[in-house]
Amino acid sequence: MEETYCPLCGKPNPIDNKFCDFCLAHLHPQEGGSTDSEALSIPGIEDNQDGLGGHESDSNVPDWLSELQQSNEMENEETLDSESELGQPANAISDWMTGVSGDGEATVGEVSPTAPFLPDQGINESQDIPHWLNDSLIEEEDQDLLEDERSGEVPLDGEGRDVSRGDSSSPEISEDISSGRENAGPLAGLRGVLPAEPGAARVRKPRTYSAKLKVSTSQRAHIDLLNSLLEDEGQPQPLPPRRSISQQHVLRWGIALVLLMAILWPIVITSHEMPFPDYDEGSAEVNRLISQLPENARVLVGFDFEPGLAAELDTAAAPVFDHLLSEGALLTLISTSPSGPILAERFIQSIQSDQKLIYGLEYVNLGYIPGGAVGLLSFIENPQGTIPFTIDGLSAWETEDRNGLPATAGIDQITDYSMVILLVDDPDTARTWIEQLGPTITNPQALMSFVLITSAQLEPVVRPYYESSPQPVNGLVVGLRGGAAYARIIGSDDFPGRSWDAFGMGTFVAALLILVGGLGYYVIPELSRTARDQEKVKR
């Protein structure tokens, strides 16, 4: 069975159908052409229209209506003539409708959207508009547009759009709207009315657009550059070759060699050339305190320094302990550092060749006090309860149920010691000892003194305590210089002159290296820069 497709809804219908079964639209355009209103008209309504104004039913029209119709036809005769000139199918429109809407083309040149109503006033551009108004109110550009529209030449842009209307819609729609006019219904004669079924009857093939990206030459160049950058980012860049021997390496090794030679030289030649310092106030005060100790005085010695500074502190403390043991002092060794007890034992071993100390009788090692400041305070408050045994597990103190060691005999509290000597290299440790022991030392009733033997780096930290009043620190031996001064005071020849000479040579060369090297490192580049500047000026 043959079928035809509805131009409105696109659904299939039998070919014999005049109207679509689905939307009731005309399936076949009538011969001689028809207006859109007819093609899209609904049969029932069309019948009514025919009944009202169609020529076929003129016989049924009353006289008064026929006269009215004839008068309308006479009034709109001119309009019908113009439509006939434009090729419009005037006979396809009902007469009464033609009288309402047939004047459209006569007002093509009107810019206003209400142009269809203007011809009713019978306006003639050349006659009714004054010349002065025409020239002054209508600008030149508008006049050009008017002329273009009259001549049917509408200025178009590159894509065929109407430039004069600023229309950005598609050319088809723009053309339909510009030329379309409603021919039926209450909006008949109006221009630019949107159709009731817009574009549905005009099934056209949609415009195809290219899916390919249009890229200009410059854009292509930028794309290539970006691609090359991204590819380079992913590629590992080889590091610049590292020089095995740089200037810094040479300088460091040079400093180390010069310093090593300066220190080794006095040791190798074994000649004592550096004089001991004449006088040191802190060392002299320590000497005075030790000289005033009673016979067999109990002395508490704290070893709180790191093994790395053992050479300096052992050397500085050696003359002090020579003097101390010569006075018959009995030593109690203790430490708040885990490595302190063995450092104390090592120090005692180093002076054994001269003093021949007997363990337990002349000295005792109590070992390590855990807890830092708390442990030290506990020991100061209650020595026997805090450290009841020596490092060897012997009973350290004499009590009712056990015998103690002779070196600690008669010690019940911290004030029973005549002197406390601390070997220290750390400012925090020194401060802890001074703060915990200070109240006891500064107590006028306590006949006890506190002496520090410190590393040279600690002098600024401990000197305020030594110079304050009342003194929590009664004596101060600082570094090798203090030890050498003490050796000179007691007239001891045991102070190692080689160590003193190496120390003196080392400090001298270190100062020289900093001074000369620093100036050379700064002056030489400045001089070379000045020379380059002068050469540039000459050129």
Partner 1 sequence: MRNPVYTAIAIGVGIVVLLGYFLQFDLLVNLRIVFLEWATILVATALLIGVVNLFIVHWRKSTTDQPNRVNSIALLAGLTITMGVAGWFGPTDLYSLWIFNYILIPIEASLMGILSVVLIYAGVRLLRRKPNLLSIVFIATAVIILLMTGPLFGIDIPGLAELRIWIGKVPAVAGARGILLGVSLGIIAAGLRILMGADRPYGGN
Binding site for partner 1 (CB under 8 A): 251-252, 255-256, 259, 273-277, 306-311, 338-339, 341-343, 345-346, 349, 365, 367, 369-372, 374-375, 377-378, 381-382, 385-386, 391-392, 431, 456, 459-461, 463-464, 467, 479, 481, 500-501, 503-508, 510-511, 513-515, 517-519, 521-522, 525
Shortest Å, Cβ 223 to partner 1: 45
Shortest Å, Cβ 252 to partner 1: 5
Nearer to partner 1 by C-beta: 293 or 343? 343
What distance in Å separates the CA atoms of residue 196 and residue 37, rounded to the nearest whole number? 10
Residue 103 makes CB contacts below 8 A (sequence gap 6+) with 76, 79, 82, 116, 119, 120, 189
Show the tokens assigned to 504.
Answer: 């003196």
Q: How far apart are the first and last CA of the chain?
A: 105
Helical spans, DSSP H, in 86-151: 95-101, 125-128, 131-136, 140-151
Nearer to partner 1 by C-beta: 391 or 407? 391
Show the tokens assigned to 193.
Answer: 């009315």
Shortest Å, Cβ 251 to partner 1: 6
Nearer to partner 1 by C-beta: 145 or 473? 473
Nearer to partner 1 by C-beta: 5 or 521? 521
Q: State the greatest distance between any 2 C-alpha atoms of the chain, in Å, as a whole number.
A: 163
Nearer to partner 1 by C-beta: 142 or 273? 273
Nearer to partner 1 by C-beta: 123 or 515? 515
Shortest Å, Cβ 295 to partner 1: 27
Shortest Å, Cβ 218 to partner 1: 48
Shortest Å, Cβ 479 to partner 1: 8
505 and 260 Cβ atoms separated by less than 8 Å: no
What distance in Å separates the CA atoms of residue 516 and residue 497, rounded to the nearest whole number? 28
Shortest Å, Cβ 427 to partner 1: 8
Nearer to partner 1 by C-beta: 80 or 309? 309
E strand intervals along 38-152: none
Amino acid at residue number 123: I
* Spatial CA neighbour of 367 closest among 391, 394, 393: 391
313 and 345 Cβ atoms separated by less than 8 Å: no
What distance in Å separates the CA atoms of residue 300 and residue 422, rounded to the nearest whole number? 8
Residue 146 makes CB contacts below 8 A (sequence gap 6+) with 109, 111, 138
Nearer to partner 1 by C-beta: 240 or 308? 308
Nearer to partner 1 by C-beta: 192 or 470? 470
Show the tokens assigned to 104.
Answer: 């459209």
Shortest Å, Cβ 465 to partner 1: 9
Q: Which residue has the tokens 């400012």?
A: 427
Buried b (16+ CB within 10 A) or exposed e, 26-51: bbeeeeeebbbbbbbbeeeeeeebee
Shortest Å, Cβ 452 to partner 1: 14
